Structure 1
């Protein structure tokens, strides 16, 4: 199984980061502006990009430390059975967000695309917390011309 793995240091408290990972309003500040369903374990979060997009079931929450989701929708097919995890770790004046998107069936061009986009969105999370303005879809950095 293949895995996407990133880490970013953010000058913000784990409490503030956790809020942006676990609420509709928070998630809409850095990933996509069309989100519904964020909540406790068992919630299904719907992330939409021009009307379509993935659904994730919230599988584990440890306040200010860990957020874990499992893909629960049909789109995109390559994400079936994948999991997303955000681990938060405080070191001195910053909080590190360790991101994993695991259980990919294979390494592919689409996985490479998603890895780059995850990096873009993690930097959007950093911007949202450090400057007050992230770049969620559709205002994100585009990595290709399609």
Structure 2
């Protein structure tokens, strides 16, 4: 198994970060502007990119500390069985978000693409909270020409 890991420091409160990770309105500010279903453990969040996209079951919520999702469905097929977690840790002058997308069957070009895109979206999360404007899909930074 292979994992994607990133860590970003954000000058924002753990409460604001948690809200950006656990509500439809918050998620729409940084990942995709078409999201629905965020809620308590057991909720299914639908993220859409031009009509299609992944669904995740909310598996773990520890307010202002941890958000955990498990991929649900078959799109994209490389994500089947994977999990995403956000660990929120307070630092001296910032709050750190440790992001992990775990359980990939094997490293691949698509995994490398997703790793870069996750970094793009985590910067979007940072900008959303620090500057008031993120770059969720479809306004995200493009990393290839396809």
Task: Verify same fold: TM over 0.5.
Answer: yes
Q: What is residue 102 of structure 2 aligned with on the other side?
A: 102
Q: CA deviation at 1:93?
A: 1.5
Task: Show the 5 A alignment for 1:1-146.
Answer: 1-146=1-146
Residue-pair matches, total: 146
Q: Provide Cα deviations, 1:113-144, integer angstroms capped at 9, x if missing partner.
A: 00000000000000000000000000000000
Calculate the TM-score normalised by the size of structure 1.
1.00
Rounded Cα–Cα distance in structure 2 between residues aligned with 1:59 and 1:79: 16
Q: Provide Cα deviations, 1:3-22, integer angstroms capped at 9, x if missing partner.
A: 00000000000000000000
Calculate the TM-score normalised by the size of structure 2.
1.00
Q: CA deviation at 1:73?
A: 1.4
- Structure 2: unaligned runs, 5 residues or longer: none
Aligned alpha-carbon RMSD (Å): 0.3
Rounded Cα–Cα distance in structure 2 between residues aligned with 1:118 and 1:83: 14
- Structure 1: unaligned runs, 5 residues or longer: none
